[in-house]
Amino acid sequence: MKKPQIVILLGSPGAGKGTQAELLSDKLNLYYLETSKLIEATVMKAKEGESIEVEGKEYSLTEEKKLWLAGVLCSPPFVSFLVKQKLNQLAEEGKGIVMAGSPRTLPEGKDQVPLLKKLYGAENIKVVLIELTPEQTIWRNSHRRICDLMRHPILYAEETEKLTHCPLDGSKLIKREGLDEPETIKVRLKEYKERTLPLVGYFTEEGLKVEKVNGEQSVEAVHQDILKSL
Ligand SMILES: [Zn+2]
């Protein structure tokens, strides 16, 4: 039997990782593991004073929530704990996975890649880097909206400009509180350069194939380029 595959999408905030992950998930029947949703769901429902223990250290969910809302990356061990828990569950169910937004830092990568290799085999793991200029990153993020109900991302485009409700579930479109303000976006961009990009070198060292795709094209063109690269 052919082993299920893992696709890891990397790219700056607003590169369209979420949208592309959804498209790939439909096209290739992969489970879309969305780290930001996993984190958001965990910290937003956390009770005051609640914490999670990872390798003998306590991580306060209240503190992680503050980082999350400020646009700063949450503590890598905390994030990795949530992701690995989910990866084990998905592998057990025999599911292929597309990951967007995780691993997001070198420590997370070093923590997750050995597990991924063990569960799926290096030959079944593909990394795609969706490239976007800093100018495009800032512009795209300040124009982004999400739906109130399912938090579906709505990218800014001619077709979506006048949209007021989610085409998938009819709920109202809103701006994400805090995360998409210009100052927060600059913080996220800096974090991306300093903490996420070093992963590319690490993946290569680990024998994983990294493909680059131009993110400044239409959603469909980027999707086709990703399919070709796989
Ligand atoms: Zn929606």
pLDDT in tens, 101-130: 788 889 889 999 999 999 999 999 999 999
21 alpha carbon – ligand 1 mean position (Å): 16
- CB 160, CB 36: distance < 8 Å: no
Report for 24-28, 71-75, 134-138: range of highest mean pLDDT: 24-28
- CB 213, CB 128: distance < 8 Å: yes
Residues with C-beta atoms within 5 A of ion ligand 1: 147, 150, 152, 166, 168-169
pTM of the predicted protein model = 0.79
Distance CA 82, CA 92 (A): 16
Q: Give SS3 for 197.
A: coil
163 alpha carbon – ligand 1 mean position (Å): 12
Residue 119 backbone phi and psi in degrees, to 5:
-75, -35
What digits encode the pLDDT tens for the residues 64-81? 999 888 877 788 889 889
149 alpha carbon – ligand 1 mean position (Å): 6
Higher pLDDT, 210 or 159: 210
188 alpha carbon – ligand 1 mean position (Å): 24
Cis upstream peptide for 103 (omega within 30°): yes
Distance CA 185, CA 178 (A): 9
Fold assignment, 6-144+180-229: Rossmann fold (3.40.50)
Tokens (6 digits) for 14: 């607003």
